[in-house]
A and B are shown apart, each in its own frame.
Chain A
Amino acid sequence: MSDTAIHLTVLLNQIANAVGRFLLAPLGFLPEVAGALVVAVVTGILMLIAFKYTSHQSAIKHVRNGIKAELLALSLFKDSVAVSLGSQWRIVQGAIKLILISLIPIGCMVIPVTLLLGQLSLWWQARPLQIGEDVVVTLALNENDKTSWPNVTLQTAPAMEITQGPFRIRSRREMCWQLQARASGYHRLNFVVDGQPVEKEVAVGSDSMRVSIQRPAWDLADILMHPAEPPFQRSSSVKSIRMQYPLETTWTHGRYSPLFFHSWLVFWFIGSTIAAFCFRGILKVNL
């Protein structure tokens, strides 16, 4: 079941990558805030439409009106504790009904939205390396056979110079290298693991670029969060390869402060929510 889900996710990621590369390409040249705004507004509207057609609109309206009525009843009939408690119980009942009604649209939207967020994270979670900047690349080995340690080499390339490493962290079954970027563009790091070639994509440049932080392990969550590159098979000696790209630090991108792990996600959420709220009247959607 799990393998089937992973295979399916990989397939969906391939489609999402193809569509995302095309539809999100303007993010490469738009100013950061403008790009983030456009994406938030457009996706907010699209999701609102999806919600409209996947939810039971009249039931939502009915339940919401019921909740509002009972909220008003709390102020209108506050003389009676029993009546107020009755209203409060009906509010709770209404809220539960609303959650149940929302399960269908949630079910319908969870996959496309997750794929979308995966694509957006490629653009907004981290920025590409700049020429001359150092980066640590970590290759995690699978734990299928804890006693053996495969023979791993990283081939040198003109675009990425190995400045330190490899270092072995035996307790975590990881190997690290420090690299320095030498040329702009998308490059590939070529590893050889027990004679088998293994690749990882690297992005170098001063503009906005799709950045794949990690080539994921054979794990559903990992694959969803790092959709750009194909995952390593369960049988592979390599579990994953991760690069410590510098995180974005604006309030629309990456990580704005230590408190906010996903400021881009917060910005997108607020933007899409406001857009949905603004367009709900025009599109006649009951939320």
Chain B
Amino acid sequence: MRLMRMAVLVSVLVLAMSESAYAYVGPGAGFALAGSFFAVFAAVFSAFVMLLTWPVRLLLRFLFGKKAPAKARFKRIVILGLDGLDHGLTTTLLAEGKLPNLAKLRDQGGFQSLGSTLPPISPVAWSSFQTGVNPGKHNIFDFLVPDEQTYQPKMSSVEIRPPRRVLRIGKWKQTFGGPDIRLLRKSRPFWSILSEYGIFNCIIRVPITFPPEKLHGVQLSAMCVPDLRGTQGEFTRYTSRPLDQGRSHGGAVVSVVPQGLKVVSKLAGPPHPSRPELGPLKIPFQVTIGDRDNAVLKIGSETRNLRLGEYTEWIQVKFRSGLTVSVSGVCKFLLLSVEPEFELYVTPINIDPEKPAMQIGYPSVYPIYLAKKQGAYATLGLAEDTWGLNDHVLSDDQFLQQCMDTDRERELMFFDALEKVPRGLCVCVFDGTDRMQHMFWRYHDKLHPARPAEIPESHINAIGDLYQRMDDLVGRTMAKCADTDNLLMVLSDHGFNSFRRGIDLNRWLELNGYLSVDDSRRSEDYLAGIDWQKTRAFAIGLTGIFLNLKTRFSQGIVEDGQEASQLKNEIVSRLEGLLDPLSETRAIKRIYQAAQVYNGPYKNHAPDLIVGYDRGYRVSWEAANGQTTRDVFHMNTRAWSGDHCVDPSVVPGVLFCSQPLLSDRSRLLDIGPTVLDLFGIAVPSYMDGKALAIGDRAGPRANNAENIQGSVS
């Protein structure tokens, strides 16, 4: 708008004062020309102001900025997070010479296994990474936690409430402002401490950074950013098949009836902002079938060609409620089939990064900057649609394409950050590695029950190919960080292993007399059929068992103290010996008591027991959702075939460093303290992590390195 106003003003002056005003050639070309001149003017003016104020800013920072007690050892530290990169598999591939760039990084610096957290799952692990504390201090223990009043699962890291300001006039209701979003992760990210010392931070897609917190630098949020419907990623499938043939877990299925060559339906978006009883806002769309492979999609103001099996680019969709309110999202369409049945897949509707409906980055213009720079991109916390593949809506190739597209978008952001941040901290997490290993492990594990008899040639080595792609990314990153005053770390939050058998903990608890469930309601999600007056312990989420404590839950029956302690000991001793009847092997490596393994003010929010499954096992799909089936053990035949919700010793992550790693053992929660230490900042005493000893392959560096604190470039 400001650009337009300036353009108009300049043009008016030109027109008013010049006899050659007839040279004006209309608003379109006029805008373009005036806008160009304004852009040049803005660039020159801002350069002038910047150069003029630079010494002043430098002086102010020098006089009033907080000073680190020691000199920084590096000008820039770059951390490349590859979610789920497994230490064992990486070691094997390194030995086979398949990861040349990581091998080079190992040889010039160091490579170690990186201890994950308990449990070794992304929200917990990345929270410890960023805060340097154990879960008892950062309050994240799982993806989900049960509500203490209703027992219903809720997200552990974020709470999203409707807007607080509402104007009501009779039946009419108008909300003001955005939703009330609260981050439930406690403690403080180490980049917040760096910010205090004037060190610039660029934090891209690190899980559990939503809603974004203030920092000196820029940040793009990741895990837990919802889609426009408020879910963690709900795809939509339009089908002309009878609905009962297409039961879906992770998506909405909409029945359509083709009329000749036309299919007309609606795309559901966010709930109505002021009258939720009206259901979601919807946009009509129409698909006109051309032939077996082509169709034309018309939605809103967009018209796109659909080609069988190919994703469209991101399409902006606007959901309107009333004349003035509209919410903008982006999604991709994929024509799955034209005949004999019509099938259309739509990705979860991501928050439009160019017009975000809620703050997904800091400052709020950073996501907009990225969208202007590189075009629309996935903003959803879990961007890759694993449910689409799990529900057999997407094929392996289509899922892989989605993952690779997301990685490409991430790479553009990351390399832009490397250009824009010559000093300070730059962290970027690629989580496609986690999603792809979850979904393609069945091709890697020859004994996996979901492994098909015939594996497509392109996927036989899907996991190896993925590691090689990441190796290539590391190579390009190394090239950008080649300066001796840069430190590059490549790390993962946990490793991976096979998920062959699922354990229904609730069934085990029932069989052992700790839980009572209404037999007719076993298949209902979210602990629906449980009789709380007869239940002493229950499981929900990926690794936790909760005691039904009187002091914690609204219908609790277990007294805290000795009774609880006895109960925990009893469950641990019985459950640890659980044998898989199929193989006669132990399914659980160890069970941890939260009170003993966590410390900090939030340890009472943890599940009472954390189950460390052995290799090949995990909580069953049903138990994770709060169901109670009739069997303790379940064969996992889903595409989601690899996992890491096991004992941390089974799935260590990796740590590569461009400088020698002198510490014998490194843990994920040591990274934050290490970065602080490398920037010359004292590690706060509340942090549980310790600064790792990082050597110097080129001799003492401290003499050469500048003190980054206080620098304005």
Q: Which residues of A contact B29 (CB under 8 A)?
A: 51, 102, 105-106, 109
Given contacts A81-B51, A270-B8, contact A101 B366 (CB under 8 A): no
Q: Please tell me if the beta carbons of B28 and A78 are within 8 angstroms of each other in the complex.
A: no
Neighbour of B420 across the interface among A83, A92, A102, CB < 8 A:
A83
Q: Which residues of B contact A224 (CB under 8 A)?
A: 22
Bound-complex Cα distance A96 to B27 (A): 18
Q: Which residues of B contact A72 (CB under 8 A)?
A: 365, 368-369, 372
User: How many residues from A make CB contacts under 8 Å with B?
Assistant: 70
A181 interface residue (CB < 8 Å to B): no
- Which residues of chain A (92-125) have a CB below 8 Å from chain B? 92, 94-96, 98-99, 101-102, 105-106, 109-110, 113-114, 117-118
Q: Which residues of A contact B15 (CB under 8 A)?
A: 262, 265-266, 269
B698 interface residue (CB < 8 Å to A): no
Q: Please tell me if the beta carbons of B22 and A50 are within 8 angstroms of each other in the complex.
A: no
Binds A, one of B42-50, B489-497, B514-522: B42-50
- Which residues of chain B (25-40) have a CB below 8 Å from chain A? 25-33, 35-37, 39-40
Given contacts A91-B39, A91-B42, A265-B21, contact A287 B28 (CB under 8 A): yes
Q: Residue among B40, B301, B365 with the most chain A CB within 10 A?
A: B40
Q: Please tell me if the beta carbons of A99 and B32 are within 8 angstroms of each other in the complex.
A: yes
A235 interface residue (CB < 8 Å to B): no
Neighbour of A102 across the interface among B36, B42, B47, CB < 8 A:
B36
B713 interface residue (CB < 8 Å to A): yes
Q: How far is the CB of B218 from chain A (nearest CB, A)?
A: 6
Given contacts A69-B372, A80-B713, contact A106 B46 (CB under 8 A): no
Neighbour of B36 across the interface among A99, A276, A284, CB < 8 A:
A99
Q: Please tell me if the beta carbons of B713 and A99 are within 8 angstroms of each other in the complex.
A: no
Bound-complex Cα distance A270 to B5 (A): 11
Q: Please tell me if the beta carbons of B46 and A84 are within 8 angstroms of each other in the complex.
A: yes
Given contacts A81-B51, A91-B43, A92-B43, contact A102 B33 (CB under 8 A): yes
A233 interface residue (CB < 8 Å to B): no
B179 interface residue (CB < 8 Å to A): no
B62 interface residue (CB < 8 Å to A): no
Bound-complex Cα distance A52 to B28 (A): 8
- Output the nearest chain B residue to A117 by Cβ-Cβ distance: B22
Q: Which residues of A contact B420 (CB under 8 A)?
A: 73, 76-77, 80, 83
- Which residues of chain A (8-54) have a CB below 8 Å from chain B? 43-44, 47-48, 50-52
Q: How far is the CB of A75 from chain B (nearest CB, A)?
A: 7
- Which residues of chain B (656-684) have a CB below 8 Å from chain A? none
Q: Please tell me if the beta carbons of B47 and A84 are within 8 angstroms of each other in the complex.
A: yes
Q: Which residues of A contact B22 (CB under 8 A)?
A: 114, 117-118, 224-225
B447 interface residue (CB < 8 Å to A): no
Q: Which residues of A contact B438 (CB under 8 A)?
A: none
Bound-complex Cα distance A114 to B25 (A): 7
B169 interface residue (CB < 8 Å to A): no
How does the 8 Å CB contact mask read for A253-267 relative to B, with 1 for contact and 0 for none?
000000111110110
B363 interface residue (CB < 8 Å to A): yes
Q: Please tell me if the beta carbons of A81 and B50 are within 8 angstroms of each other in the complex.
A: yes
Q: Which residues of A contact B21 (CB under 8 A)?
A: 261-262, 265
Secondary structure at the B interface, as helix, strand, loop or mixed, is helix
B394 interface residue (CB < 8 Å to A): no
- Output the nearest chain A residue to B29 by Cβ-Cβ distance: A106
Q: Which residues of A contact B421 (CB under 8 A)?
A: 77, 80, 83
B373 interface residue (CB < 8 Å to A): yes
Q: Which residues of A contact B200 (CB under 8 A)?
A: 77, 79-80
Q: Please tell me if the beta carbons of A78 and B301 are within 8 angstroms of each other in the complex.
A: no
Given contacts A44-B27, A72-B368, A109-B26, contact A260 B50 (CB under 8 A): no
Given contacts A78-B50, A80-B422, A273-B8, contact A50 B32 (CB under 8 A): no
A169 interface residue (CB < 8 Å to B): no
Q: Please tell me if the beta carbons of B423 and A79 are within 8 angstroms of each other in the complex.
A: yes
B16 interface residue (CB < 8 Å to A): yes
Q: Which residues of B contact A48 (CB under 8 A)?
A: 27-28
Q: Please tell me if the beta carbons of B422 and A284 are within 8 angstroms of each other in the complex.
A: no
B166 interface residue (CB < 8 Å to A): no
Q: Please tell me if the beta carbons of A94 and B422 are within 8 angstroms of each other in the complex.
A: no
Give 22 CB contacts A-B under 8 Å: A73-B373, A76-B218, A84-B46, A86-B419, A88-B44, A91-B39, A92-B44, A95-B43, A98-B39, A102-B29, A105-B32, A106-B25, A113-B26, A225-B22, A261-B19, A265-B21, A266-B15, A266-B16, A269-B11, A269-B27, A273-B11, A276-B27
Chain B positions within 8 Å of A, measured between CB atoms, are 4, 8, 11-12, 15-19, 21-22, 24-33, 35-37, 39-40, 42-44, 46-47, 50-51, 54, 200, 218, 301, 363, 365-366, 368-373, 375, 419-424, 712-713
Please list the 5 inter-chain residue pairs (A to B) with the smallest Cβ-Cβ separation, ordered nearest first. Answer: A51-B28, A276-B27, A47-B26, A102-B32, A69-B372
